[in-house]
Amino acid sequence: MAIDLGYDQHVVALIDKTRAFTREVVMPIEDAFIGNITDAGGDTRRVEMQAAARDAGVFAPHVPVEYGGHGLNMSDRAPVFEEAGYSLFGPIALHIGAPDEGNVHLLAHVASTAQKEQFLAPLAHGDVRSAFAMTEPAPGAGSDPSALSTTATKVAGGWKINGHKWFITGADGAGFFIVMARTSGSPGDRGGATMFLAPADAAGIKVGRHIGTLDKAMIGGHCEVFFDDVFAPDENVLGAVDEGFSYAQVRLGPARMTHVMRWLGAARRGHDVAVAHVARREGFGAKLGDLGMVQKMIADNEIDIAATRALLVHACWALDQGSKAGNETSIAKTFAAEAIFRIVDRGIQMCGGLGVSDDLPLARLSREVRPFRVYDGPSEVHRWAIAKRAVGAARRAAREASA
């Protein structure tokens, strides 16, 4: 069977336009503000960049066509998102950054018609931002979502939500939240969670402090959010009651892969900067790029880039086939999160003092990509899940053989 790794012409054209827009329009803004979106103007800058993306014909490549986007599937998103990720501000400009991109995907697949009109349409158009509120302080939900402790209690006409969330990306300035709350069972139970749509101005929602983190390019910060008797009407239940963990998988697998796409672009930029530097810089009687130790780092970066892209392509293909692709996305996410950091870190090493300075983008790229080994599931949790699946398959095979 022939394997076609090419893209249709309209996708190729979008890749080319995204590459030009990102490098000519977005990168100079990122460089001027050293990758700090707050210093660049926050939402005001977001609106300006997204208007420019619309004019360039590259806005919202993932959004369904009926909501004004390009409607790309997961496989076709990969090279477009990668080109946007070449600048840390590129995902914001194209409206493909976390958490909005993942929330668009979730709402498009799960929301009712009325919910799509109220929440998806303005989000897809870039009129509002959103946040996904699941993570909680210990002993609540974190790497183990079953520890979910935020509760939603049934009342007349809806639900009352109470809980404390934190590390909620984009919370400051979000127009609405997708809130994960427990509607049955107790913390530690694997089921019993429900997703709710909550406008940010609903009574009882308070966005607290920004938690200081390494990364500075995600708009709206990583915040604490408090829910105090927040009323969610029945029509704001997203999907079915007690099925929230199942719907989370609709979002999380694809979102992990779009993280890989974006940060692979960032890693490529770091690699390109480093290779350009060692090709020019002289030391020890030769160009640095002609020295064996430097060449090994360049080759290892090329290998990590190619391997990351190959795992990403396979996982996206599986998702496009309708598979949950749990193993494929875990493998791709774990490898990519570590490979992307290695790529940038080697780039810093190749550039020496300049690599850790603000004169080159490598230092800020390193700060941005390091958290990926934690975000959307730490590497250790994914390794545990991968191994658990492998052992489970071996045990099933043994039982079948002895039957």
pLDDT tens-digit readout, 279-299: 999 999 999 999 999 999 999
The per-residue pLDDT for 5 is 86
Percent of the chain, pLDDT > 90? 97
The per-residue pLDDT for 218 is 94
**pLDDT-based confidence at 270, cuts 50/70/90?**
very high
**Is the pLDDT at 337 greater than 70, yes or no?**
yes
Mean pLDDT of the 187-204 span: 96
pTM value is 0.96
Percent of the chain, pLDDT > 70? 100
The per-residue pLDDT for 299 is 98
**Is the pLDDT at 2 greater than 70, yes or no?**
no
- Give the mean pLDDT of the chain: 97
**Is the pLDDT at 214 greater than 90, yes or no?**
yes
Mean pLDDT of the 4-20 span: 96
**pLDDT-based confidence at 181, cuts 50/70/90?**
very high
Q: Quick one: 9-97 is in which CATH superfamily?
A: Acyl-CoA dehydrogenase/oxidase, N-terminal domain (1.10.540.10)
Mean pLDDT of the 313-331 span: 96
The per-residue pLDDT for 188 is 93
Domain with CATH 1.10.540.10 in the chain: 9-97
pLDDT in tens, 14-42: 999 999 999 999 999 999 999 999 999 99
The per-residue pLDDT for 207 is 98
**Is the pLDDT at 3 greater than 80, yes or no?**
no
Q: Residue 207: what are its φ and ψ, rounded to 5°?
A: -85, 120
Q: Give the CATH architecture of domain 130-238.
A: Beta Barrel (2.40)
Mean pLDDT of the 353-381 span: 97
CATH hierarchy code of domain 246-402: 1.20.140.10
Q: How far apart are CA 172 and CA 122, in angstroms?
A: 17
CA nearest to 78, candidates 312, 269, 244: 312
**Is the pLDDT at 175 greater than 80, yes or no?**
yes
Mean pLDDT of the 328-346 span: 98
Domain with CATH 1.20.140.10 in the chain: 246-402
The per-residue pLDDT for 403 is 81
The per-residue pLDDT for 1 is 53
The per-residue pLDDT for 176 is 98
Mean pLDDT of the 10-14 span: 98
